[in-house]
Structure 1
Amino acid sequence: MGRKVGVVGMGYVGLTLTAALADKGHTVYGADVSPTVLASLSRGRPHIFEPGVEEIFAARIGRDIQVGTELPRDTVDVAVISVSTPVDDITRRPNLANLAAAARAVAATCRPDTLVVVRSTVPVGASRRVVLPELRAAWGERVRLVMAPERTIQGQALRELVELPQVVGGLDAESLAAGVEFFTGLAQTIVPVSGLETAELVKLSNNCHTDLIYSFGNEIALIAERHGLDPLEVIRAANVDYPRPDLAKPGYVGGGCLSKDPYIMIDSAGERRPFLVGKARELNEYLPIHVGETVVRMLVEARGGSLGSRLAVLGWAYKGWPPTDDMRGTPIATMMRVFSAAGVTVLGHDPMVTDDVIRQYGGEPISLDKAFTDVDGVLIINDHPDYRAIRISEVLDEVRPAFVYDSWRVLDADAVTGAGIRYAGLGYLPPAPTPAAAPAASDAGAVPA
């Protein structure tokens, strides 16, 4: 028998959980403070792309899924808090105002016997320190509270909500039992842990470890670049039949979680800062700067200057596979500052991102079939399948780019260099092929950056 579940916060975490719960036969009440989000959802049109979610909302909105500015009073059996916990751009400290406000809203609209689930990513201790006092102020000691972190990957959330083990930590034995029972109806495997804080640290550990292992691949790439080596060759050779964990390929590390959670982990550590977490994040945030500066140097080398040069950038969402339209932590946000300072005109394309978003970030939209013509250089940032499918001979014109910087190495490098175009990637900077590429569109005598 389905339950009545409230979900406070209809961002990515709340949206996907709502769809998954409704698909399992629960009645879900979604609450959000954004009129735009509510208007879109009420029409059955999710504001965030995630495979399968739109179909569930279109079929169930107004019936099994209801949305509003607050949860219906004294109605839900379970209230899930899935609001954002942003990190300040300057101090890098987590802002838990949304978490406290959501806890107050749940306390005001729900019954004391309601199971409260913290789903948001929080510093260790925040469920007990921020959420619990709000509930106890309204309900006294009759509080059932669990922390059950979301750990899905974008593009596969509905599958992973079922297939990934669900970690649950409770305030007490009664809370834990209620949390385990609830999630047993959704996930195939439940992992009970000893308390709220353990579950909080599990989520941070997963994401910070991912950030860390990716940063090592990026470290290898930067060192390989200094020596004129191919980092992918180094990593492939290092991994062949070696019985220790594989090295990760280099790549940009963004998104809503990996660009934020390391700072929440650092905050959780208190006065004794972690040795590794901050350095890994620093390296991963430096990579887009390094690539932006490298691309500008390549423009200068090829055309005598960067001012007025035209650069086609393919891939504006933070990742290309699984496809997403998420711009949180996208490398282009950092790179655009570098390109703007160098006077580069940036032309943008992404199959998942609207032209309006590209303009908001300072780019001029361009179609994929025009991205390799009438430009001085091409930068491929993510590995969307449309970019993997590019056949270089089919997209070139007489006026060709001087180089293609293929961050994920998805193109046929031999085909690119065979066309007289310099080919490069993360940590991979071989010299320009000879004979030199045909003249490109912009003035080779532009003022150097």
Structure 2
Amino acid sequence: MKNICVIGLGYVGMTLAVSLANKGFRVYGIEINPLILESLKDSKAHFFEPKLNDMIDNNIKLGRFSYHSHYDEVYSCDYFIITIGTPLDNHKKVNLSMILKVTDELSRVINKNSTIILRSTVKIGTTRKIFNQLSASLEFKPKIAFCPERTIEGDAMNEILSLPQIIGGIDEDSSDSAHDLFSKLTTTTVIMSTPEAAEMVKLTDNVTRDIRFAIANEIALSCDQLKLSAHEIIRAAGRDYPRTKLPLPGPVGGPCLEKDTYIYNQSFNDYTPKIAVDARSLNESLIDHALVFITKKIGTSFGKVTILGMAFKGEPPTNDIRGSMSLKLIEKIKGINSLCAIHVYDSLATEKEIKFTHSFLNVHKSIPDATFESNVVFIMNQNYEFQNLDLNKLFLNMAEKGIVYDFWGQLIGSSSYNSNYFAFGSHDIHNS
């Protein structure tokens, strides 16, 4: 049985570690975050993912998965998989310091039979940089490959077993070793010519999604100017017509899409990927667009605002609020009206998780409590709870002349329609 060390038990690391343990590997997880370690004491992940907690508990009991804060607690491993995050700094520059620190630590624990796999999203050339750094400190040539994570939150435990695994080794031995591992996890592996090609695949995946959302959002912005309904138009354009398949418009965020275009852009010295950069900028503009509309309707003196949905997406459901556009909305609201009380509701994200981002938030356990006497209610994601809201009840619970702003247009055509309901991409369409 192969021994595997997964470094970093965040979303990417935890789902991979437990999936490998479930296939019979002996997996050691390395994590220094006390909140994550505390959750694991109860055999639970620190985030919501269907099936995951049962798999963690089962594999801990079987002795196939354990978690540690130090490498000296880990036996000699055949694979070391790096899943450390690559955040952006205040200047939107990718921060690789944690990955490079881990690389330095690995130089003291790997041997010539070990294979290092980089799973984190990185700018192009990072895998080779790590290889060069390790080669300079070792007496042997290390095996290393870039094999990106590509699952969707909310369905990761299924997708990790079905999606093709991209493999970009520094050489043939590295690719073969990575293939030997991932072929036990999924039926399809795609061997790339270089690690740079594999790094580009990961960035292509997320940049492409960001651009597709941006096209839908640009149509929505245009429709708001023309008093047309983007939802009507996008649905009609894609109906039984394969060449115009677009997502519905709405806020685009999360731990990947909010930063991967910036990582992609930083992979070049003398080239700017204009379409990708412009798409990211457009997707980031939606909050300003909505607030300009709201303040034209009711001014800036609103006393209470409610946000429904703190997670960056609602379908499939997740409690992940990293990169959520709700956080951007909160900051913008406070910039407009510092005295405004902001109340929030999310069915999965805990009060502790939410208040960690902004301690001044008022967190509620029900939609009626969160929206009581509210001047403005923002629906921020597509969680199933928000798709069937009764607008009549909602408005009766809110302050007089309150406004509901639905970023996803989920209640357009609702039988309980109210003229103070507005949807992004369909501003005033029912009131023109």
TM over 0.5, shorter chain: yes
Task: Say yes or no: does 1:328 pair with 2:322.
Answer: yes
1:338 aligned to 2:336?
no
CA deviations 1:65-111 (Å, max 9, x no partner) are 11112334551111101111111122x22111111111122221222
Q: How far did residue 427 of structure 1 move?
A: 1.6
Instruction: Rate the CA distance shift 1:240–1:432 in 2: closer, same or farther, 3 A.
Output: closer
Higher mean displacement: 397-406 or 378-387: 397-406
Q: Which one-letter code corresponds to 2:107 in the other structure? A: A
TM-score (norm 1): 0.89
Pairwise CA distance, 1:240: 2.7
Q: Please give the per-residue CA displacement for 1:124-181, whole angstroms capped at 9, x wherever unaligned.
A: 111011x113332343333111110101110011111111010101111111111111
Does the 8 Å contact 1:372/1:401 carry over to 2? no
Measure the CA separation in 2 of the matches of 1:364 and 1:384: 20
Q: Does 1:67 align with 2:63?
A: no
State the distance in 2 between where 1:177 and 1:289 align: 49
Structure 1, unaligned runs of 5 or more: 301-305, 435-449
Counterpart residue type for residue 385 of structure 2: D
The answer as to 2:344 corresponding to 1:348 is yes
Pair 1:335–1:297, CA change in 2 (3 A)? farther
| Cα separation, partners in 2 of 1:395 and 1:402, compared to 1, 3 Å | closer
Q: C-alpha displacement at 1:24, in angstroms?
A: 1.0
CA distance, structure 2, for counterparts of residue 178 and residue 317 of structure 1:
37
* Structure 2 match to 1:80: 81
Could you say which residue in structure 2 is the equivalent of 1:154? 153
Shift of 1:237: 2.2
Q: Distance in 1 between matches of 2:286 and 2:412?
A: 23
Q: Identify the residue that residue 299 of structure 1 maps to in structure 2.
A: 298
| Cα pair distance change 1:294/1:36, threshold 3 Å | same
Check whether the contact 1:370–1:395 (CA below 8 A) recurs between aligned residues. Answer: no
Higher alpha-carbon deviation: 352-361 or 140-149: 352-361
| Pair 1:375–1:432, CA change in 2 (3 A) | farther
- Tell me how large the CA RMSD over aligned residues is: 2.1
| SS of 2:256 mapped into structure 1 | helix
The answer to whether the Cα contact below 8 Å between 1:377 and 1:401 also exists between their aligned partners in 2 is no
1:407 CA drift (Å): 1.4
Q: Kindly report which structure 2 residues correspond to 1:107-122, keeping only aligned pairs within 5 A, or say none.
A: 107-122=107-122
Partners in 2 of 1:292 and 1:23 — Cα distance?
Answer: 47
Q: Is the alpha carbon distance of 1:401 and 1:11 closer, same or farther for their aligned partners in structure 2, counting shifts above 3 Å? A: farther
Shift of 1:287: 1.1
- Structure-2 change in CA distance of 1:43 and 1:134 (3 Å): farther
- Aligned equivalents of 1:128, 1:327: Cα separation in 2: 32
Cα gap change, 1:60 to 1:323, in 2 (>3 Å): same
Distance 1:87 1:16 in 2: 23
How far did residue 370 of structure 1 move?
3.1
Q: How does 1:116-195 map to 2 (within 5 A)?
A: 116-129=116-129, 131-195=130-194
1:425 and 2:423 correspond? yes
| Structure 2 letter corresponding to 1:331 | M
- Taking structure 1 as reference, are residues 39 and 231 closer, same or farther at Cα in structure 2, changes over 3 Å only? same
Match of residue 447 from structure 1: none
Inter-CA distance 431–201: structure 2 relative to 1 (3 Å threshold): closer
Matched, 1:248 2:247: yes
Q: How many residues align?
A: 424
Moved more, 337-346 or 283-292: 337-346
| Correspondence 1:258-273 to 2 at 5 A | 258-273=257-272
Q: How does 1:271-286 map to 2 (within 5 A)?
A: 271-286=270-285
- Mapped to 2, the partners of 1:373 and 1:36 lie a distance apart of 33
| Contact 1:19–1:56, Cα closer than 8 Å, also in 2 | yes
CA distance in 2: counterparts of 1:280 and 1:388, whole angstroms: 27
| Counterpart position of 1:363 | 361
- Show the counterpart of 2:310: 316
Secondary structure of the residue aligned to 2:161 is: helix
1:185-242 CA deviation, whole Å, 9 max, x = no partner?
Answer: 0012111111111100000000001001110101110011001110111212222333
* Aligned partners of 1:30 and 1:68 also within 8 Å: yes
Cα gap change, 1:142 to 1:201, in 2 (>3 Å) = same
Identify which range, 4-13 or 345-354, moves more after superposition: 345-354
Q: Which SS does the other structure have where 1:348 is aligned? A: strand
Q: CA deviation at 1:433?
A: 6.0
Give the distance between the partners of 2:423 and 2:268, measured in 1 at CA. Answer: 36
SS at 2:415 equivalent: helix
Distance 2:66 2:139 in 1: 29
8 Å CA contact 1:392, 1:416 repeated in 2: yes
Cα contact 2:312–2:323 (8 A) shared by 1: yes
SS at match of 1:405: strand
Check conservation: 1:314, 1:348, Cα contact below 8 A. Answer: yes
